[in-house]
Structure formats: C-alpha cells, structure tokens
Amino acid sequence: MVQDQGWVEDTIVAIATPIGEGGIGIVRVSGAAAISTVDQAFLSPKGRSLASANNWSLSYGWIVSATGEKLDEVVVSVMRAPHSYTREDVVEINCHSGLVPLQNILQRMLELGARLAEPGEFTKRAFLHGRLDLSQAEAVIDIIRAKTDKGHRLAMRQLEGDLSKAVKVMRHDLVGLLAAIEAGIDFPEEVGDMEAEEVVALCQDLEEDLKALLATADSGKIIREGIDTAIIGRPNVGKSSLLNMLVRENRAIVTEIPGTTRDVIEEVVNIGGFPFVIRDTAGIRHTEDVIEKIGVERAKALMEGADLILYVIDGSVPLQDEDIELLEQLRGRRAVVVLNKLDLGTVVSLDACKQLLPDTAVVRVSSTEKLGLKQLEETVVSEVTKGQIDLSGEALVVTRTRHKQALMDALESLVAAKETSLSGLPMDLVAIDIRGAAESLGEITGDTLQSEVIDRIFADFCIGK
C-alpha cells in the first residue's frame, strides 16, 4: 500500500455539492491545516472556535471575510484525522446553496492558504492514506455515476471491498507459492526444489478462479456503462417513433417524410434495471442528398459497433429487398426485430422473419399507438441477459475494463508459469511468471501500480469528491 506520502501535506478545498440553487451547499476542506484555516474565517455567536469543537460535532455561525463581513450563515462539521473520509482533518462548511455564497466561501479558504483540490483528490487521499484501496476508490465514482439500481448495487459491493477480497486471496496464494519456489532456489539443501506438479496444480486452481471472474466482465461492463443500442431500419418505418415510445417523450422529430432523421439522437433509458444507451439513426437507403448520406453512413457505423440492434420494419407493407439485405447482416448479432405499425395491419409475418433470422426475437408494436411496449421491453432485457451470469447483484461481477485487463494479464502469466514448469525448465523461470501474475492482480487494488496510472484514474472524478 502506498501510505502516508510526505507530499500529502497541503490543505485542499473544493465545493463538494453541485453548483446551483438548492437547500444546502458544502465546501469541503481537508488537510493538516483544515481546522485552523476555517477557524480564521469562522465566527460563532458565542465566540467558540472550531479547534475547541468536539470531534464529529456541528458548530453554528458565519464565515466572514478578511474585513469581518458575513459571507454566509453556516453549520460547520469537524472530523479529525484519522476518523474522516480522507483520514486527514476534514472540515465541511454547510452553507446556502447558491453560486455566490459557495464561491465566496471557497475564495475565502483559498485566501487563507488552502489549495483548490484536483478532481477526485479527496478520494485519492483516502486511497493514499490506506482507507480505501484502488478498486474501492473506483467504486466511489461508479456509485456517483450509476444509472440504475443494479449498477449502484454492484458499485456498493465493490466499495465494500468484495472484489478486493477475492483478488487479495488469489494474490496471497501466488505470493505463498512464490515464497516456496524461492526458498527452494535459495536453500536447495534444506528446503528442496518444489515439485512441478505442485506448481501446476496450484496454477490450475487459480486459473479457474480467474476465468470465473473474467466471465462476469462483459455483463459487468454492460451494467456500468450501459448497453449500446442502435435503432436501425429503412426510412419512414418508425424508428424515431420507436425511440419516443421507449423514452416516453417526443424526443426525436417524426414526420411522414422519408429521411427525416439525419443526425444520431441518443437517450439513456432504464429498462428492467439495465441502462440502455439508445441511438435513433437515419433510415438506411441509397441517397444523393449530401446530408442524408452522412446520416446513412453514421447509421451503418453504429449498426457495426452496437451491443444490441433494434431493427425496425414497417410490418404493414410487404418486406422490401433492402430489409432482407440488412436483416441478413444481423445474423449472429444481438438483435431484436421490431415489426412496427401494428395498428395498420400485419402484412409481414413472424415466420418470414424467422426464416431469415431463426435465432432472433421478433416483436410486433405500434409506436404511435403505444402497443406492444411491455413485450418489447421484456424481449430486449432477455436478449441482454441471455446466457449471462447472475446479474441480480448477488454475484461478484467485474465492471471495469481496467480490472478485466489486469485479470487477463494475470491469467496469461499463470498459463505461462504452468507451461514453464510442465516443460521442466528451472524454477527461477517459473518464479518470474508467478511474480508477474501477482503484480497484475495487485494493479486492481493499487498495491502494484505506477503513480501516473493512479493519477489518471483519479482525474476521471469530479471536483470535490
């Protein structure tokens, strides 16, 4: 653990609540001089100082300017090290939430020598002081950004250290193995070389644990980042109407003119607890219109990259050649065929679609009459959860690409270690791979990470967190 670095000494300040009109705004100060800094601007009706305030207590008063002018009426909390979020002295100034009081108090703290905090610096200090490991710190930002209950639940589990624990157990086993191998190398007489079979057996066990964790990564990413969903189809089939039905508002322009949508329109919708990032696109057709052409190119590109495709067909008219062509491109992809305009009749049969795409679900809807919405939503959710791991929030799930990469690196090193020992090569070569696997796992918790990488992770946070 990177602990109590000498340079974590200055006192930082930031507005910790969103800027805007609201009941309460908070200016947060952390560092060795936090209490004395705020004290210089704090005026209590009875002349009490924050230095004399009990730990975890609230003090009522005002923050005043250098000339004694009251900047705002406040309630101040004092949390002394190490019993605070950052494990440093932390003072939180609760004031009225408005741009002027928040900014004035922030300015006053800067005047008194505090430094403006960088994004995520409070959480980074919690990490540097060993209160959180890196995967827990990452969970903090995931909790803030969670778009659904499921995402929130997974992030909470990560904050509680579930992933860290699993990783630490594996790392502990690897370090134990490494110690045994090294003892055999250093003291061949006393200890004796480790048997290759022993090494292989342990690698095998860990390999299985790693694979089980890795198997959750794709689902985890979906829950954290959302399912990239593209609404695709020919012009005028009702793609924009479908988006409007799914988001339950008139988000996209709908007209009877084919080629209405040109630019991609994006909305995040919570369907069955999963965040779907749904994009409405231009109808795909051959066109000479320069703007529409760009739209069609974008639609095709989105179709390529999407996690899920909602392919919309006007089910009230016969299936067109272009539909057949596009449908064929969906083979093997995660997709749902939406037969729209149900209210106008059902000319395209479900069988016709099934013949083209035997494994793809087909749903009938009317986007303008809001028919079939529930069934569409259920189909879309089952399409996403199909064959997936338990996403109820009970199982341990890997949600970050960074973690997935570290697990994959560890797996690669383990496989190499196994092969090296099987081929009878000397144990010091095996030790290199084992050490590599342990280091990769340590990256998840931040035990073995370069400081630039750590900086990059915290730069993704908001100011004040």
Ligand X SMILES: Nc1nc2c(ncn2[C@@H]2O[C@H](COP(=O)(O)OP(=O)(O)OP(=O)(O)O)[C@@H](O)[C@H]2O)c(=O)[nH]1
Q: Which residue is nearest to ligand X (CB)?
A: 283
Q: Binding partner of residue 241 among Mg ion, ligand X, none, CB under 5 to 8 Å per kind?
A: ligand X
Can residue 218 be called a binding residue for ligand X (CB under 6 A)? no
Q: What's the closest the beta carbon of residue 245 comes to ligand X, in angstroms?
A: 8
Stretch that binds ligand X, among 18-26, 52-60, 255-263, 419-427 (CB under 6 A): 255-263
Nearer to ligand X, 86 or 261 (CB): 261
Stretch that binds ligand X, among 40-48, 179-187, 233-241, 322-330 (CB under 6 A): 233-241
Q: What's the closest the beta carbon of residue 265 comes to Mg ion, in angstroms?
A: 8
Q: What's the closest the beta carbon of residue 384 comes to ligand X, in angstroms?
A: 23
Beta bridge partners of 265: 280
Q: What's the closest the beta carbon of residue 326 comes to Mg ion, in angstroms?
A: 16
Residues 6+ apart with CB under 8 A from 18: none
Measure the CA–CA gap between 166 and 397, rounded to whole angstroms. Answer: 11
Closest CA to 357 of 303, 309, 299: 309
Q: Could you write out the DSSP letters of every residue in 103-132?
A: HHHHHHHHHTT-EEPPTTHHHHHHHHTTSS
Contact 167, 179 (CB under 8 A): no
Stretch that binds ligand X, among 12-20, 137-145, 238-246, 326-334 (CB under 6 A): 238-246
Q: Binding partner of residue 238 among ligand X, Mg ion, none, CB under 5 to 8 Å per kind?
A: ligand X
Name the pairing type of β-strands 12-15 and 70-79: unpaired
Exposed/middle/buried for residue 51 (C-beta within 10 Å: 0-12, 13-18, 19+): exposed
Q: Where are the beta strands (DSSP E) in 163-250?
A: 227-233
Q: What's the closest the beta carbon of residue 419 comes to Mg ion, in angstroms?
A: 54
Can residue 260 be called a binding residue for ligand X (CB under 6 A)? yes
Stretch that binds ligand X, among 26-34, 69-77, 237-245, 302-310 (CB under 6 A): 237-245
Measure the CA–CA gap between 233 and 317, rounded to whole angstroms. Answer: 14
Can residue 388 be called a binding residue for ligand X (CB under 6 A)? no
Stretch that binds ligand X, among 53-61, 253-261, 345-353, 427-435 (CB under 6 A): 253-261
| Segment 366 to 385, residues that bind ligand X, using CB under 6 A | 366-368
Q: Tell me what percent of the chain is helix, strand and coil, each rounded to the nearest 5.
A: 45, 20, 35
Can residue 236 be called a binding residue for ligand X (CB under 6 A)? yes
Nearer to ligand X, 261 or 445 (CB): 261
- Give the x/- contact pattern for ligand X in 328-367, rule: CB under 6 A: ------------xx-xx---------------------xx
Measure the CA–CA gap between 91 and 79, rounded to whole angstroms. Answer: 6
Sign of the four-CA dihedral 357, 363, 366, 370 = negative
Beta bridge partners of 78: 57, 91
Measure the CA–CA gap between 346 and 349, rounded to whole angstroms. Answer: 7
Helix (H, G, I), strand (E, B) or coil at 153: helix
Nearer to Mg ion, 88 or 292 (CB): 292
Can residue 97 be called a binding residue for ligand X (CB under 6 A)? no
Stretch that binds ligand X, among 15-23, 26-34, 228-236, 411-419 (CB under 6 A): 228-236
Beta bridge partners of 96: 24
- Out of 124, 150, 221, 239, point to the residue binding ligand X (CB under 6 A): 239
Nearer to ligand X, 123 or 236 (CB): 236
Nearer to ligand X, 285 or 333 (CB): 285
Q: By the criterion CB under 5 A, which residues form the site for Mg ion?
A: 239-240, 260-261
Nearer to ligand X, 239 or 404 (CB): 239
- Out of 30, 164, 241, 360, point to the residue binding ligand X (CB under 6 A): 241
Can residue 238 be called a binding residue for ligand X (CB under 6 A)? yes
Buried b (16+ CB within 10 A) or exposed e, 420-449: bbeeeeebeebbebbbbbbbbbbbbbbbeb
Name the pairing type of β-strands 22-30 and 70-79: unpaired
Consecutive H or E run containing 29: strand 22-30
Q: Binding partner of residue 273 among ligand X, Mg ion, none, CB under 5 to 8 Å per kind?
A: none
Sign of the four-CA dihedral 106, 107, 113, 118 = positive
Q: What's the closest the beta carbon of residue 286 comes to ligand X, in angstroms?
A: 13
- Give the x/- contact pattern for ligand X in 271-310, rule: CB under 6 A: -----------xx---------------------------
User: What is the contact surface with ligand X in residues (CB under 6 A)?
Assistant: 233, 235-241, 254-256, 258-261, 282-283, 340-341, 343-344, 366-368
